[in-house]
Structure 1
Amino acid sequence: MSGLTVDCVSGVQHEGEATGKFEIINDINTYIALPQGEYVKDRAVIIVDVFGIQLNNNKADGFASNGLQTYVPDIFEGDPIPANALSDPTLKFDREKWFATHSMEITRPIVDKLLEGLRENGITKFGVVGYCYGARHTIDLAKKNLISAAAIAHPSRLVPEKDFPDLLAESNVPLLINSCEFDGAFPEEACKVADQTLGGGKYKPGYKRAYWIGCTHGFAVRGDMTNPQIKAGKEGAFTNTVEWFSKIPRQKKMPKAKSGKKPAPAPFGASKPAKVVKNPLFDAHPKNFGIGQDIQPKKDLTRFVKWPEYVRLQRQKVVLHQRLKVPPAIAQFSHTLDKNTATQLFKLLNKYRPETKQEKKARLDAEAKAVAEGQEDTKKDKKPLFVKYGLNHCVALIESKKANLVVIAHDVDPIELVVFVPALCRKMGVPYVIVKSKARLGTVVHKKTAAILTLQDVRSEDQKELSTIVSAAKINYNDKADEIRRTWGGGLRGNKSTEKLRRRAKAAGQAMTKAAAQKL
């Protein structure tokens, strides 16, 4: 077996800012990059690598910019090989000890759960690219025909003498291999086994192996871009993979079944259609809908209605918020948590709803009764864990760093009540999220509305779920402080103005999307 070599934890960490987002899909923390504009909705690319989703190199933005919706699952659950293993070669990282706690048997169910969740969302075809450690998962998925296309680069943990014959015998998934000249995990002997087993047209689904001279293990993800050969190999491997996945066929509609039998011809020729005899007692009177003539047919008069003042005011307020430029401190409240993660969050919050008045009274009565009966020395029940609410109370918990997670409503009015809370959370190092809406937060704490909730401690069985949500909160909110500080909101044009700009650009021979015209 080609194991994890020292090259697996070496390389160069690339700079740049990711443009995708993190969501929880089927309980799996996932980095998502979606293409701009139109794209095929039933196909997706999944990336698996040994450094997990935290390393900037593994972000899927490149695939998304080429029209492929891309997902990167957190298969190591927040504990990948540390990124400083790349920047500090002297770091004595024990890769074998790490692999013992992150074996294929542990991480494979996570990949399967992501596939299951994406299928529930309507995605039917998957292309999986495995870099280094991820090649093992890619080959296993291809053997069981769970995906539509496979690509691996500088693979490790493979057994060429067994894996490639198994593919030949069991799989109908096309395979692309990006190999390199200097690779201890997938040496030249392994390349020969792959070519002899699958090459020469033997592997009917399709096989291709690219060989990049001067490149080392990890070149496709962590390669040194200052080296011309490695730069060419990295870019070439990426282009190969995009073209390989672009060949995944679209979902075809099944043709309607045709009957093989033809009806027998009429024995005395085709019968003539019977002439319809009109009843002379009923005359046709076509209606004339001209002015002053017949009554007009019923139509929807909604746009002619004079709406009540409160309706007009709230609609005009929405339009003003779209047209005017909104400063970053307020615009950040329009970037709410995604639906999947929000569902997981409220599922957790509902487990810790505060006591109702009746429940609290019953608990205190039971304690008082125990004291009256002389059982005050017995161990008292601990006060139940529940969500804390109330702006002043929550702010005090944040300032004392007792809050593990802060949940803020996106539609608090006036916004001045909570506009300072995100900055306070970042200052105190407390994870926070912004969700829809104050009414939904209110249902958690038995109120009509709630501006802010705070979660302190949870039971041991919910600790993993909380840590997953906290991780998503830090990535999407706390760690994006600079981006939030620079991002203005509003400034969107109306439909009439947008269409006028698009026509003007078209007359000038320029292409302009509706989204681009709105922001001008």
Structure 2
Amino acid sequence: MSGPECCENPPNLSCGCGGEAGHVQQLGGFNSYISGSADSPRAVLLVSDVFGYEAPKLRKLADKVAAAGFYVVVPDFLRGDPRVPNDERPLEVWIKDHGPDQGFEDAKPVIEAIKSKGITKIGAAGFCWGAKVVVELAKYAYIQAAVLLHPSFVAVDDMHAVKVPISILGAEIDRRSPPELVKQFEMALNAKPEVDAFVKIFPGVAHGWSVRYNDEDEVAVKSAQGSHQDMLGWFEKHLK
């Protein structure tokens, strides 16, 4: 369970950024950031990294997806206990209370709550920790499309079991899912022609870049925007 990258570059939760288009409400038993209209026939579940659902850039991305016509839900699967900068608990200790397997179980009632609104097409995107949650959902077709961004805890065997269209967006500089591992994911998916798959490695960026980029770094911002467009395009394609 090594890999400090999971916890590098934490978001600033006290920035008072404002400007959020959505709101927080209970859904499926979890506090969730909700953006977009529940009248949409299409929904996207965004599953956070270890820093949780309050991360401003994650919520900004939720608003961007909602603006494209989706009902977007970002649940607090970390139950009010995200990783914080200089957390005294080692990641190995924290993860025992916040395993992605628990996130997978927690996602089920949230998906049912989304369906109860009459929404029939649901996609999910997972970031780092959240990618493992999403790949589990993709194995049992709880969702219709999946996107993994700089995944953590994901193994090649997971790819063998995926049942829905899946896109994997990796980083060139990533010890959690290095390009060599992402290529193995791609090979496993290529052996399953019945499952549509798209795999891309973004050059010059590090683990977490899609939601933890530095606003002053033009290359990082552009790469993050590129990953957002790829994610959105995948959902547009498969949640018709």
- Shared fold per TM-score greater than 0.5: yes
Other structure's SS at 1:155 match: coil
2:104 and 2:192 map into 1 onto residues whose CA distance is 29
Partner of 2:83: 81
Please tell me whether residue 115 in structure 1 is matched to residue 111 in structure 2: yes
The structure richer in strand per residue is: 2
* Equivalent in 161, 168, 185 of residue 177 of structure 1: 168
How far is 1:108 from its partner? Answer: 2.5
Please tell me whether residue 26 in structure 1 is matched to residue 28 in structure 2: yes
Contact 2:42 2:70 in 1 (8 A): yes
2:107 and 2:55 map into 1 onto residues whose CA distance is 18
Q: Structure 2 matches for 1:64-103, cutoff 5 A?
A: 64-82=66-84, 85=85, 92-103=88-99
1:232 and 1:141 map into 2 onto residues whose CA distance is 29
Contact 1:152 1:177 in 2 (8 A): yes
**For 1:277-331, what per-residue CA distance to the aligned partner results, in whole angstroms no more than 9, with x for missing partners?**
xxxxxxxxxxxxxxxxxxxxxxxxxxxxxxxxxxxxxxxxxxxxxxxxxxxxxxx
1:34 and 1:239 map into 2 onto residues whose CA distance is 18
Partner of 1:13: 11
- Residue identity in the other structure for 1:58: L
Q: Structure 2 matches for 1:135-146, cutoff 5 A?
A: 135-146=131-142
**For 1:56-89, what per-residue CA distance to the aligned partner results, in whole angstroms no more than 9, with x for missing partners?**
122111211222210011111111112xx1xxxx
2:65 and 2:115 map into 1 onto residues whose CA distance is 20
Partner of 1:62: 64
The structure richer in helix per residue is: 1
Partner of 1:45: 44
Partner of 2:155: 159
CA separation of 1:249/1:94 partners in 2, compared to 1, >3 Å: closer, same or farther? closer
1:42 and 1:67 map into 2 onto residues whose CA distance is 9
- Residue identity in the other structure for 1:193: Q
Partner of 2:184: 193
1:179 and 1:66 map into 2 onto residues whose CA distance is 23
TM-score, normalised to structure 1, is 0.43
CA separation of 1:4/1:135 partners in 2, compared to 1, >3 Å: closer, same or farther? farther
Contact 1:4 1:156 in 2 (8 A): no
Contact 1:151 1:241 in 2 (8 A): yes
- Residue identity in the other structure for 2:117: N
Please tell me whether residue 106 in structure 1 is matched to residue 97 in structure 2: no
Partner of 1:444: none
Larger Rg over CA atoms: 1
* Equivalent in 236, 242, 245 of residue 226 of structure 2: 236
Please tell me whether residue 207 in structure 1 is matched to residue 197 in structure 2: yes
**Gaps (5+ residues) in structure 2?**
none
Runs of at least 4 residues of structure 1 off by over 4 A? Answer: 90-93
How far is 1:51 from its partner? Answer: 1.6
How far is 1:229 from its partner? Answer: 2.6
Higher relative contact order (CA 8 A, sep 6+): 2
Other structure's SS at 1:222 match: coil
2:237 and 2:183 map into 1 onto residues whose CA distance is 26
Other structure's SS at 2:158 match: helix
Other structure's SS at 1:76 match: coil
2:105 and 2:87 map into 1 onto residues whose CA distance is 31
**Gaps (5+ residues) in structure 1?**
251-520
How far is 1:230 from its partner? Answer: 1.7
Other structure's SS at 1:30 match: strand
Other structure's SS at 1:226 match: coil
2:140 and 2:87 map into 1 onto residues whose CA distance is 39
CA separation of 1:154/1:29 partners in 2, compared to 1, >3 Å: closer, same or farther? same
Between 1:201-210 and 1:221-230, the stretch displaced more is 201-210
2:34 and 2:58 map into 1 onto residues whose CA distance is 11
1:40 and 1:178 map into 2 onto residues whose CA distance is 29
Other structure's SS at 1:64 match: helix
1:26 and 1:139 map into 2 onto residues whose CA distance is 20
How far is 1:40 from its partner? Answer: 6.4
2:102 and 2:172 map into 1 onto residues whose CA distance is 31
- Residue identity in the other structure for 1:228: E
How far is 1:4 from its partner? Answer: 6.2
1:12 and 1:96 map into 2 onto residues whose CA distance is 17
**For 1:178-227, what per-residue CA distance to the aligned partner results, in whole angstroms no more than 9, with x for missing partners?**
1111101101221121122223x843231111211110000011122322
TM-score, normalised to structure 2, is 0.89
How far is 1:107 from its partner? Answer: 2.7
- Residue identity in the other structure for 1:97: V
2:107 and 2:150 map into 1 onto residues whose CA distance is 20
1:94 and 1:13 map into 2 onto residues whose CA distance is 18
Partner of 1:225: 215
2:182 and 2:174 map into 1 onto residues whose CA distance is 11
Contact 2:40 2:69 in 1 (8 A): no
Aligned-residue RMSD, C-alpha:
2.0
Aligned-residue sequence identity (percent) comes to 27
1:26 and 1:202 map into 2 onto residues whose CA distance is 33
Between 1:185-194 and 1:3-12, the stretch displaced more is 3-12
Contact 2:145 2:239 in 1 (8 A): no
Other structure's SS at 2:9 match: coil
1:245 and 1:197 map into 2 onto residues whose CA distance is 22
1:20 and 1:26 map into 2 onto residues whose CA distance is 17
